[in-house]
């Protein structure tokens, strides 16, 4: 496994693979790797001849300086895991290698066709601009055959699919296939997240109520006369009733348009909850 820190070396290695006709699987991450990431990486390694993983805590997608500063960074441990998974190339650049001073200063602008106006996009202004900025740059450098994204970040996945399939960048990325991967959870049901590392044992036990409530809501949705609005409110009230948890939003939306829906068909519920100072996200499908 080779660890690459410069864009020039990354393009040199990926171009060499493509010249040899090899398929490239790519998994972009922000590091502090866990079994959720590993599930994407195992798949990328098994479905492609070469596997690239990036580890980059992208400053342009953080709209909270403290969140950026406290984001866990565990490169040495991550590298050991990636080696054991059979990854060929790890790209771990510095922010200066990725962006010019102008790019760091001026926000990147992308037309999301409304996909960014709800949920995470509404709560974290500029977040998805930063995500598209970094992912489009990484795609240009790696030129993957397949790129793997987790359904845990459901809105992010929808936006990347829009970028590759329907946006002004679609032609540029027409050779890249986006592969969605299911959420990996702890046995307790808690969705794995790098941010879980910031939770105490007590907070982790408390946070289990998030997924438990989402699972329970599948049953509530089947109750006679249940409406989307009722189920949505019941989820919010149930989680807020737990000491130490505070819902930022819970929205049941159409999984394609991400717009609020009144029917459970094709619906997905996306939640963001503060557990102490740590912001956790999760989602559940109703169809």
25 to 44: interface string for ligand AMP, x by CB under 6 A: ----xx-----xx-xx----
Residue 52 binds ligand AMP (CB under 6 A)? no
User: In the complex with ligand AMP, which residue's Cβ is closer, 93 or 150?
Assistant: 150
User: Is 37 considered catalytic here?
Assistant: yes
- The interface with ligand AMP within residues 249-268 (CB under 6 A) comprises none
User: In the complex with ligand AMP, which residue's Cβ is closer, 80 or 240?
Assistant: 80
Q: Long-range contacts made by residues 254-260, C-beta under 8 angstroms, separation at least 24?
A: 255/154, 255/158, 255/285, 255/287, 256/158, 257/114, 257/115, 258/114, 258/115, 258/118, 258/119, 258/155, 258/158, 259/114, 259/118, 260/118
H or E element, residue 272: strand 267-275
User: In the complex with ligand AMP, which residue's Cβ is closer, 27 or 236?
Assistant: 27
Contacts of 262 (CB under 8 A, 6+ apart): 227, 228, 229
Q: How far apart are CA 17 and CA 244, in angstroms?
A: 49
Binding residues for ligand AMP, total number by CB under 6 A: 17
Q: How far is the CB of 183 from ligand AMP (least distance, A)?
A: 4
Residue 271 binds ligand AMP (CB under 6 A)? no
| Catalytic residue from among 37, 88, 127, 162 | 37
Q: How far apart are CA 28 and CA 147, in angstroms?
A: 8
- The interface with ligand AMP within residues 154-213 (CB under 6 A) comprises 181, 183-184, 191-194
DSSP type of residue 124:
S
Active site residues: 37
Where along the sequence are the contacts to ligand AMP (CB under 6 A)? Answer: 29-30, 36-37, 39-40, 149-150, 152-153, 181, 183-184, 191-194
């Amino acid at each position: 496994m080779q660890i690459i820190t410069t864009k020039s070396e990354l393009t040199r290695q990926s171009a060499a693979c493509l010249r040899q006709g090899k398929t490239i699987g790519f998994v972009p991450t922000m590091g502090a790797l866990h079994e959720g990431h590993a599930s994407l990486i195992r798949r990328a390694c098994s479905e492609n001849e070469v596997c690239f993983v990036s580890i980059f805590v992208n400053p342009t997608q953080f709209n909270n300086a403290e969140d950026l500063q406290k984001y866990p960074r565990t490169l040495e441990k991550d590298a050991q895991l990636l080696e054991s998974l059979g990854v060929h190339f790890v790209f771990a650049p510095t922010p200066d290698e990725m962006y010019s001073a102008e790019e760091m200063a001026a926000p990147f602008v992308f037309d999301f066709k409304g996909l960014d106006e709800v949920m995470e996009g509404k709560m974290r202004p500029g977040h998805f601009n930063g995500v598209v900025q970094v992912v489009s740059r990484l795609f240009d450098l790696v030129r993957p055959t397949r790129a793997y994204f987790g359904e845990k970040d459901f809105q992010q996945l929808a936006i990347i699919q829009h970028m590759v399939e329907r946006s002004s960048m679609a032609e540029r990325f027409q050779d890249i296939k986006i592969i969605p991967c299911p959420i990996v959870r702890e046995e307790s049901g808690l969705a794995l997240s790098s941010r879980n590392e910031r939770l105490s044992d007590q907070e982790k036990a408390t946070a289990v109520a998030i997924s438990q409530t989402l699972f329970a809501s599948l049953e509530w949705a089947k109750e006679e006369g249940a409406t989307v609005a009722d189920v949505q409110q019941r989820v919010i009230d149930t989680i807020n009733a737990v000491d130490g948890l505070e819902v930022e939003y819970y929205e049941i939306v159409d999984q394609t348009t991400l717009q609020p829906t009144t029917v459970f068909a094709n619906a997905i519920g996306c939640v963001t909850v503060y557990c102490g100072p740590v912001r956790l996200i999760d989602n559940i499908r109703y169809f």
